[in-house]
Structure 1
Amino acid sequence: MKVAIVGATGYGGIELIRLLRQHRHVSELSVFSSSQAGTNYDDIYPHVQDIYQGVLKSVDAHQLADEYDVIFVSAPPGVAAELMEYLIDGQAKVIDLSGDFRLLDGSIYEDWYGRPAAKSSLVEKAVYGLSEWNREEIEKAKLIANPGCYPTAVLLGLAPLANDNVIDTSTLIIDAKSGTTGAGKNPSEMTHFAEMNDSLKVYKVNQHKHTPEIEQQLEQWIGTKEPITFTPHLVPMSRGIMATMYAKVSDSLTKTKVEQIYRDAYEKTPFVRINSSRYPATKEVYGSNFTNISYHLDERTGRITVISVIDNLVKGAAGQAIQNMNLMQGFEETEGLWAMPVYP
């Protein structure tokens, strides 16, 4: 395959290159940037010297549509929405990591993202790429809305319970913590070393743009729309997300039943690992496409606590995007991704 990455200079872009370089079905890998066209890629990321020697190209939608089999868009919101008007009729399949096509209601997108929504005709053609839970639709899709990093961790943790309708989502509280790469490559006061080191920060309390994405998917599973409480934090590490979810459960739910629900949901999925006897740490998935999940049913309070950890740049972005590409193209789902986490 000939594969293109639009917006290749960010952390999502370099992670796509790291993984796609070891993908057996990728014969050509090209990188595109609107702001740094003509620059050697290893001048931006010296660690790829003698490994990947691409030169950043200008973005030409018509060229992309006609010359490539798969296009990853890892650019700021709005870029994919504009490009897709030209790409939708071309040969290329498109996987958007930005969020332009995740929300079905354009007015909700505009409220939370603060910018115009993509055309509804394009959004309607997009498939939400939560790989483990939407496999059949992904296999037939031309356009994938790759999930956000926080929603990936949260939804994979909650999906078995939501699908079995054993949690009360009106009581759901989500506490999530991310490494600073989740804020992107451009430096800010919030992610400056002197501000972030030896510190823990809460941000965008009840205002994070991933909130409606989580609500939308939960609504599709349980059939009713419930607002959630979602609080994100930044922690002084580069990679990783830990999402801790709390919710009231059905009176009849037992620890044995919870174990069965999770095992049935994920026993045939290569990248989700369940361990009810030990709580996960972000270091256990570092640099990998795995999701580690654990849980505890508190019979005293009638609540369940679910803990889910991912690498935000891999399962939360580039890895899941490649997993979706594998499903779309009919490849082995693990191709290019079956690597052990980096430890310690």
Structure 2
Amino acid sequence: MKKHVTIAMGGPSQEREISLQTGLEILRNLDRERYIPAVVLIDEKRQFYFAETGDAITEEDLHTPKESSRFRGPYSPRGAVSVWNNCDICFNALHGEFGEDGVFQGYLETIGVAYTGSAVSASALGMHKGLAKKIFEASGIPTPPYTLYRNEPEKIPHIAARHGFPCFVKCPQSGSSKLMGIAHTKEELHGLLEEYSQYAPSVLVETYIEGEEFSCPVMETAEGVQALPPVYIKPTEGTYFDYDAKYKGKSEEIVPVPHAPELVELLERTARAVHISLECSVYSRTDMIVHGGTPFVLEVNTLPGFTPASLLPKSYLSQGNSYTQLLTEIIEESFRRNSRR
């Protein structure tokens, strides 16, 4: 019997467009011999729209759900409980605030709906870069030195002295390199801290570590936590893997990596350790910078993207697998995870 899979996409975060791309790509590649797709589209105000079938949905439908004949709604989250009645599992294609930080996971658990990916606590910790770093440090996993700035301008000189220039400034709960910048001077540092403090109660300042950047996905199987081939990230413009490099073709993502097997093994071991330290589930992706032979963990993504430019699918496909196989593995492992809870 076919299973009903509801794909959740959109959301209120700065990564909304990436989520819509991810959701569409999942719709295009979901195995119709095994699954029947439906869609829950969440708008910027956290209102839900529901399409009973995911077939024939277009980008225009996703951007104008009120005018689309394929969607019903809007519903409030409380009023949307009935749209999940025929759902066997939710494929969570949301990114950022609300979808990746444990909030949506908690909502689904409250109404008794199974879902893909990590549970509430791992999602919340993984989404907050500062809290995740505390776990990495406690687990003996190298990560660049950092400071959490909490709107205390008098501490900026101390932060500048500690981290030097250039340094990274990041909104801790943003992904896809949104709300992230490099400060080269104390004035730039002050400006970025002031800007990002509008979006979060704390802002992460991180020491700039020069090196080569890699990303390594992991997936859980019946045999345990397995690393996929690491991806070597080589920006062709700019100095780091920012939003344009990720999604506008301004970088090379090379897999398999042209590096020594010993480094590949170390990257894979580090990605597995990160996944386990936060108690992630089903799949994740860890971003690292290698300096002096040591991988320093930048962050973990508990809901990595599935767009054509996304790194987890590139890594998985490099083994000769298909995108459809990837989705099937994630769904079936998520069913196993939910049955064990």
Instruction: Please state which band the TM-score falls in when normalised by the shorter chain.
Output: 0.3 to 0.5
